[in-house]
């Protein structure tokens, strides 16, 4: 819902989330799967260094999504 209002004014918005079916249904345009409901951009099972690299991977995916164009 928030993502749509942002996209509507021309701000590309990547939504990092776990409940992707909801995001799809609601009409979010750039959906990026999160790690988990309770740690969308993290993984407590990894050591801090590895976790940060993991986080960066998802963020980079989000940045890629932001660059998607209709053409």
Partner 1 sequence: MQGHAKQENRKMGAEVLRIVQYLNQFFGGIGGEDKAHVGPQVKSGPVGPGRAVQEALGERGEVVATIICGDNYFAERIEDATAEVINLLRFYQPDAVIAGPAFDAGRYGIACGALCKGVKDQLGVPAVTGMFRENPAVDLFRKHVYIIETEDSARRMSEAVSQMVKIVLKLVGKEKIGKPSVEGYFSQGYLENEISDRPGAERVVSMLLAKLHGQSFKSEVSLPKYDRVELAPGIKDLRSATIALVTDGGLVPKGNPDRIEDRAATRFGVYSLEGKDALDPNDYEVNHVGYTPVFVLQDPHRLVPVDVMRDLEKEGVIKKLHEKFYSTTGAVNIVENVKKMGQAIAKELKNEGVSGVILTST
The answer to whether 17 and 11 have CB atoms below 8 angstroms apart is no
Determine if 67 is a binding residue for partner 1 (CB under 8 A): yes
Verify binding: residue 36, partner 1, rule CB under 8 A.
yes
Q: Is 42 in the site for partner 1 (CB under 8 A)?
A: yes
Residues 9-44, buried b or exposed e (16+ Cβ, 10 A)?
eeeebbbbbeeeeebeeeebbbbbebbeeeeebbee
Q: Can residue 50 be called a binding residue for partner 1 (CB under 8 A)?
A: no
Q: Which residues bind partner 1 (CB under 8 A)?
A: 1-19, 21-23, 25-27, 29, 34, 36-42, 44, 51-52, 55-56, 59, 62-63, 66-70
């Amino acid at each position: 819902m928030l993502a749509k209002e942002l996209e509507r004014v021309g701000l590309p918005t990547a939504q990092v989330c776990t409940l992707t079916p909801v995001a799809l249904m609601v009409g979010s345009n750039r959906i990026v799967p999160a790690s988990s409901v309770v740690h969308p951009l993290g993984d407590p099972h990894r050591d801090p260094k590895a976790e940060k690299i993991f986080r960066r991977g998802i963020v980079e995916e989000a940045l890629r999504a932001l660059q998607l164009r209709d053409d």
